[in-house]
């Protein structure tokens, strides 16, 4: 018998809608003393996620685009975060590496389900120097280094132009803390349940 794809689609859609969502427990948020740039807040959120037992809180989805402008994505491990950006690594010869070589921009998405929290980071991507890339490769286990050709390993940094901290709410009045980079400062906007309404905090100087 021919497959009735319309019936399958309807059944799948109904099944998906029946799945529970936003099932975690969101922590309280103190919006009175948000940092001037997003790095300290990110470190606070990811360390809190690790402290309460969120599995692999340093795993993130990296999105890039190919030469035709078609998006691509994969899950990887965050290597570091500091004032220079969000660092990740991989082979230059990989699809990720070739896409970053031709279109050096990307977006990272972190999702910590038990806390109903997500962080989105987008911006330009810069390759680190050879010494940093070599140090990252040396820090991997012998098994993880196996098969990597000399000079093929690279460390990249996503230098953010926008960082959004998202915390879900059962009533869908989600809280968004958004940092947008300007020439000399971070422009900060807070919206959602925790803020009561959308609030533009204004520009905060960054280094």
Q: Is the pLDDT at 76 greater than 50, yes or no?
A: yes
Decide if 104 contacts 84 (C-beta within 8 A). no
Higher-pLDDT residue of 33 and 120 is: 120
Both tokens assigned to 1: 């018998």
Residues in the chain: 207
3-state secondary structure (DSSP) of residue 154: strand
pLDDT digits (tens, 9 = 90+) for 4-47: 667 667 789 999 999 999 999 999 999 988 999 999 999 999 99
3-state secondary structure (DSSP) of residue 54: coil
3-state secondary structure (DSSP) of residue 23: coil
Quick one: pLDDT at residue 10? 79
Break the chain into its structural domains and give their ranges. 38-167, 173-207
Q: How far apart are CA 53 and CA 70, in angstroms?
A: 35
DSSP 8-state assignment for residue 148: P
117-127/175-181 β-pairing: unpaired
pLDDT digits (tens, 9 = 90+) for 142-160: 888 888 888 999 999 999 9
Q: How far apart are CA 175 and CA 167, in angstroms?
A: 5
pTM for this structure? 0.88
- Residues forming beta bridges with residue 31, ordered by sequence position: none
Q: How far apart are CA 173 and CA 139, in angstroms?
A: 43
Domain 38-167: CATH superfamily, name plus number: Electron Transport, Fmn-binding Protein; Chain A (2.30.110.10)
Decide if 155 contacts 186 (C-beta within 8 A). no
Decide if 103 contacts 117 (C-beta within 8 A). no
Return mean pLDDT, the chain.
91
For residue 182, give every residue at least 6 positions away whose Cβ sits within 8 Å of its Cβ, in sequence order, or none. 203
* Side-chain half-sphere CA neighbours of 32 within 13 A: 2
């Amino acid at each position: 018998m021919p497959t009735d794809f319309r019936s399958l689609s309807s059944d799948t859609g109904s099944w998906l809608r029946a799945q529970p969502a936003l099932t975690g427990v969101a922590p309280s948020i103190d919006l009175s003393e948000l940092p001037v740039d997003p790095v300290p807040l990110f470190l606070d959120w990811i360390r809190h996620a690790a402290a309460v037992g969120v599995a692999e809180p340093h795993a993130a989805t990296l999105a890039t685009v190919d030469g035709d402008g078609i998006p691509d994505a994969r899950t990887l491990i965050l290597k570091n975060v500091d004032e220079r950006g969000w660092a990740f690594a991989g082979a230059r010869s990989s699809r990720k590496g070739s896409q970053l070589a031709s279109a050096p921009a990307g977006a990272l998405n972190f999702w910590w389900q038990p806390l109903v929290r997500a962080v989105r980071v987008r911006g330009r991507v810069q390759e680190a120097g050879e010494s940093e890339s070599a140090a990252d490769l040396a820090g991997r286990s012998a098994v993880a280094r196996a098969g990597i050709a000399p000079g093929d390993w690279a460390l990249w940094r996503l230098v953010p132009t926008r960082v959004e901290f998202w915390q879900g709410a059962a009533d869908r009045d989600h809280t968004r803390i958004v940092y947008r980079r300007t020439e000399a400062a971070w422009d900060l906007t807070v919206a959602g349940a925790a803020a009561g309404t959308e609030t533009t905090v204004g520009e905060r100087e960054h280094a």
